[in-house]
Structure 1
Amino acid sequence: MEHLQDTVLKWTDTVMAIIATYGLQVIAAITILLVGWVSSRWISGLLARTLSKIKACDSMLVEFFASLVRYAILAFTVIAVLEKFGVATTSFVAILGAAGLAIGLALQGTLTSVAAGVMLLIFRPFRAGDSIEAGAISGTVKGLSLFVTELATADNVKVIVPNSKLWGDTLRNLSANPRRKIDFSLNIGYREDVTGALALLTDIVNADPRLEQSPAPQAIIAVLGDAGLKISISGWCAASDVGAVRADLNQTIVTRFTAAGYALAVGG
């Protein structure tokens, strides 16, 4: 029994000595950690709210800079906590550098996407809400991070694209310019009343209020084909109206041509 009491007393003395030696350091480290965590969230939120008020700064840049500031504060917080326990931060940084090099060699593709994400954020070839095409990929931009870009397709399917694919391919931004040209064609036979067909097409495109009158919409004979004439129809409208205008014109042309007795040829 006395031996057990002596053991308990020794352990108690040891624990008290540890608390006396490191207790204040532990409390200080926990305080630094809590302050750093709260500060990172508060400062990143404040930065996000401030940047959101700037018209030239879109949501992608707001999210990027807010995340960057938060993780930078957390990194300094971790280093400060380690210093409280006497860890040599210079050695720690050197170890992180060596580990980063090894990880970088193993994840070259991922780092390429990170570099591409930085370039996309700097040059901003598109913004959130823009409709883009890159190779076989197309959709509306929902968000951009350092690694990937999130798109929504026309049928509202979520697509995650590595930034390296967007940066390394030819990219078409369908929303960058406020106006776009609609240009499509149809074919009619040589036996049809070409003059009447052109007049009807001109009336159809001029009747759509979404098509601008300067330059005026037009319908012209583009190609004299083996099976018939190819008539080209073109006009300018707002970029956001291109899909709706094209679909409505197709429907109207087919309906009015059929009603007028015109036969559309298979080839031009």
Structure 2
Amino acid sequence: MELDPENAISAIQTGIQQASTLIVTYSFSVLGAILLLVIGFVVAGLVERWVYAGLGQVSGFDLTLRRFFSKIARYIVLGLIVVMVLGQFGIQTASVIAAIGAVGLAIGLALQGTLQNIAAGIMLLALRPLRIGEYVEVGSVAGTVEEIGLFATRLRAADGVYVLAPNSTLWTQPVKNFTRNGARRNDITITVSNVDDVESIQKSLLELAERDARVKTDPPPSAFIAELGDTTAAITLRYWTSVGDFLATKAELNRGARNALNANV
């Protein structure tokens, strides 16, 4: 079968016309998409900086949370730009958004534990039951806080051991913060066998605490009988000191209390 030259030429012309129409049509769409992407990236960067700077004006707002929320704002803007770009090519954005939502739900279910840690990290950073440099105890976790991240918190135990605790663990249990209030109380209890010496030992313990400049005068130290038996008595020295002086004061007063007890034996 021979090909008619006129039909061939007509088919080629039709193809060229159709290609030209597609090129013209989609060239505007491509140019518009590129322009939207460029503008979107610029706007996203500006929004990120505005949010970061704005949250910086809030007194006490955590640096990690500032970075997190500024990044979230950036990604929201970029997501909107991507949807707009898809609309340039006639793609139904409603179905795209629905698909993204379904994928997000699936990812959320798969990463439920991770998202729980992120949510707990945000709450820890917002409510601040613990801060960097504070010594805390949460369940079986104890140590000085070194970093509070969105997924986990890094601590240094009293013996120098590295501890990394999931944020959800720290958030769902009571937090004992030994540093936050700035002062700590300590009780030193000694047992004496000679009940007749109780008053003199009380006086010696009280003088011991009053001589130490690290012991606070408000509230003042006190020495009292905690337990009284037939032949023994438990005497407690109670005092307050700053968090930084707590351990050193405790060690020295323990030694002084033992010396006072031996002196009255």
Superposition TM-score, scaled by structure 2 size: 0.72
Q: What residue ranges of structure 2 are gaps of 5+ in the alignment?
A: 1-15
Separation in structure 1 between the aligned mates of residue 204 and residue 78 of structure 2, nearest angstrom: 68
In the alignment, is residue 95 of structure 1 matched against residue 96 of structure 2?
Answer: no
Match of 1:222 among 214, 222, 226: 226
In the alignment, is residue 70 of structure 1 matched against residue 71 of structure 2?
Answer: no
| Identical columns (%) | 35
**Radius of gyration: which is bigger?**
2
Match of 1:184 among 187, 199, 203: 187
1:42: Cα distance to partner?
4.0
In the alignment, is residue 249 of structure 1 matched against residue 250 of structure 2?
Answer: yes
Separation in structure 2 between the aligned mates of residue 66 and residue 230 of structure 1, nearest angstrom: 59
Separation in structure 1 between the aligned mates of residue 67 and residue 156 of structure 2, nearest angstrom: 19
1:98: Cα distance to partner?
1.5
- Asked if structure 1 preserves the Cα contact closer than 8 Å seen for 2:201 and 2:264, the reply is no
In the alignment, is residue 83 of structure 1 matched against residue 109 of structure 2?
Answer: no
Map residues 51-200 of structure 1 onto 2, 5 A cutoff: 51-121=55-125, 123-154=127-158, 158-180=162-184, 182-191=185-194, 193-200=197-204
Superposition TM-score, scaled by structure 1 size: 0.71
Query: How many aligned positions are there?
Result: 248
1:97: Cα distance to partner?
1.6
> Do the aligned partners of residues 22 and 264 (structure 1) sit closer, same or farther apart at CA in structure 2, a change above 3 Å counting?
farther
> Do the aligned partners of residues 187 and 15 (structure 1) sit closer, same or farther apart at CA in structure 2, a change above 3 Å counting?
farther
The letter of the residue matching 1:197 is: I
The letter of the residue matching 1:233 is: L
- Asked if structure 2 preserves the Cα contact closer than 8 Å seen for 1:128 and 1:143, the reply is yes
> Do the aligned partners of residues 256 and 124 (structure 1) sit closer, same or farther apart at CA in structure 2, a change above 3 Å counting?
closer
The answer to which of 118-127 and 244-253 deviates more is: 118-127
Separation in structure 2 between the aligned mates of residue 73 and residue 87 of structure 1, nearest angstrom: 19
- Asked if structure 2 preserves the Cα contact closer than 8 Å seen for 1:32 and 1:81, the reply is yes
Q: What residue ranges of structure 1 are gaps of 5+ in the alignment?
A: 1-12
CA RMSD of aligned residues (A): 3.8
1:254: Cα distance to partner?
1.2
Map residues 13-52 of structure 1 onto 2, 5 A cutoff: 20-52=24-56
